Amino acid sequence: MVAHLLRLRLDLLVGSIRGGGRANAVIGLVLLVVVTTVTCAGVLSLADAEPERAQALIILGGSVLVLGCMLGPIVLGIADPLDPRRFGVFGLSPRALTPALALAGLISIPVLALLALLVCVVIVWHAHGVALPVAILAAALGLITCVLSARCSHVVGTLVFRPRHSRELSGVFVLILLIVVVPAGVFVASLQWRDAVPEPLAGLVTALAFTPWGAAWTLPAAVATGSGWFVGAIAVLTAGLLWAAWTVLVAMATTRTERPTHAGEHAGLGWFALLPGTPAGAIAARSLVYGLRDRRYLVNLVIVPVAAALVAVPLLVAGVPAEFVALLPVPIVALFLGWLPHNDVAYDSTAVWMHIAGGVRGVADRVGRLAPILLVGIPLLAIVVPVSAALHGDWSVTPALVGIAASLFLSALGLSSIASAVAPYAVARPGDSPFQQPQRHGSSGVLAQGLVMVGAIVVSLPVLLLSWQSITGEAVLLSSALSLSALWTGLGTGVGVLIVGVIVGGWAFNRRGDRIMEFAETA
């Protein structure tokens, strides 16, 4: 059976290159070769680095690699050519099928790239005085951990996520990874690597060394310090647990009978199938469909970073210190993101009749409409905050920046929830140019825009004051305390104003339903 599955895996590998998707396969192969070559060159350069620095980077990179193998198949929705479910109809024993599929999984282009990377890691370890058998053992444990993690992730994806898998779900996973990975990458890139491992990173490396993700990559250094038995036990136990999980998952995949689905069930529903079947969930799904496809919304989003740049450039030209200008994009982006939904009822045009005729409660309408901006705004702010802190040069301001972002963003969302129900004004109709300016009667549009922005700034003044004192303060302990105070004050202010805004906006939507419908018909 093993030999037959290995031949089958080779045939599938060759067929993926010869088949109809040959161009995509070749492009992917070229990209993988380029990335692998660059990565291997970077790893080999560690042979001349300080041993502590080389080991720290190997532990950090190896841990990220294992985590990527665990999450990658689920996040990207990659199809497994040797899905264990495909062998369930042949009546094969799961006990015999488990090792055969595990060995067949080693025959793949990504695993070949991983092997090349591990060879480079072994060379670096040996260059720093690690015995060759220990280096090979550590590399073998790292290979087993990565491959079994990926194989288990594939099966979990098919058994749990794939029946309701959609590109929307993958997009949510990618956004979550952006929130975590980008700030971490900016933080590591901003550290000063001079004579030793930076202190903020040393603690993380030490913690990862005794986890299932980093134990295999720590083994050579642990052997040199006398703790190799403990780290080695963690690495071996991790591989054993992954093998046990793989055995159970293969048995489940080959013996489990899936519930048959009716033709067309949940097909093509996208966000409507992903979000809860409640009034707020349905409105959130509809708002996401509109918000991510309507160019009127997309143009508004593009304007946000442009506005931040337009404010920062003149200040730099005027001579304002760059470390202070680097902090400005955070409040500007947060304020504009929260301000964007202040007229979302007008963008619905006549489609708002569905909410009014359906008897939807105003709070559900207000909550559902916030879904698109929350989905885009939180990852965007998660990127802007660490980048601004890194450009500023002092990471201790990060809590204050988070407090500013939370207060301005959430407060503006709360006030926008009120303004869109109380004072909607005419905008370009669906299908028209987003730059078209319709004629307005009166000044309600100007008032709505101004009051939302000014109101968000006014309620955030305590946070802005605390943050300014923490940034400009000379005493380190006092600045840290003020920065944390700004964080909690900002979160409390933002959440409080958002809740009040949603409740008041929902009440206004219920009371002004006829006027909103009249506005939608005549605007």
- pLDDT tens digits, 311-365: 887 888 777 788 888 888 899 999 999 998 888 887 777 677 777 777 788 898 8
Question: Is the distance from CB of 387 to CB of 256 less than 8 angstroms?
Answer: no
Distinct helix (H) and strand (E) counts, the chain = 24, 0
Compute CA distances 258 → 88, 133, 254, 267, 371, whole Å.
Answer: 12, 46, 10, 17, 33
Question: Is the distance from CB of 407 to CB of 494 less than 8 angstroms?
Answer: yes
Closest residue by Cα to residue 414 from 60, 141, 422, 169: 422
| Residue 491 burial by Cβ neighbours in a 10 Å radius (0-12, 13-18, 19+) | middle
CA 10/CA 27 separation, integer angstroms = 20
User: What pLDDT is recorded for position 262?
Assistant: 46
Q: What values do phi and psi take at 93, rounded to 5? A: -75, 125
User: What pLDDT is recorded for position 5?
Assistant: 63
CA 226/CA 222 separation, integer angstroms = 6
The whole-angstrom distance between residue 88's C-alpha and the CA centroid of its chain comes to: 35
- Residue 263: pLDDT over 50: no
Verdict on whether the full-model pTM lies above 0.85: no
User: pLDDT tens-digit profile of 269-317?
Assistant: 667 777 777 888 888 888 888 777 777 777 777 788 777 877 887 888 7
User: pLDDT tens-digit profile of 16-42?
Assistant: 555 555 555 667 678 878 888 888 888
Question: Is the distance from CB of 457 to CB of 331 less than 8 angstroms?
Answer: no
| Residue 152 burial by Cβ neighbours in a 10 Å radius (0-12, 13-18, 19+) | buried
CA 238/CA 205 separation, integer angstroms = 18
Q: How is the chain split among helix, strand and coil, in percent rounded to 5? A: 80, 0, 20
CA 481/CA 461 separation, integer angstroms = 18
Sign of CA dihedral 493, 496, 499, 502: negative
The whole-angstrom distance between residue 239's C-alpha and the CA centroid of its chain comes to: 28
441: left (phi over 0), alpha (psi -120 to 50) or beta: beta
Average confidence (pLDDT) over 48-61: 84
Q: How many CB atoms neighbour CB 115 within 10 A?
A: 14
Question: Is the distance from CB of 505 to CB of 366 less than 8 angstroms?
Answer: yes
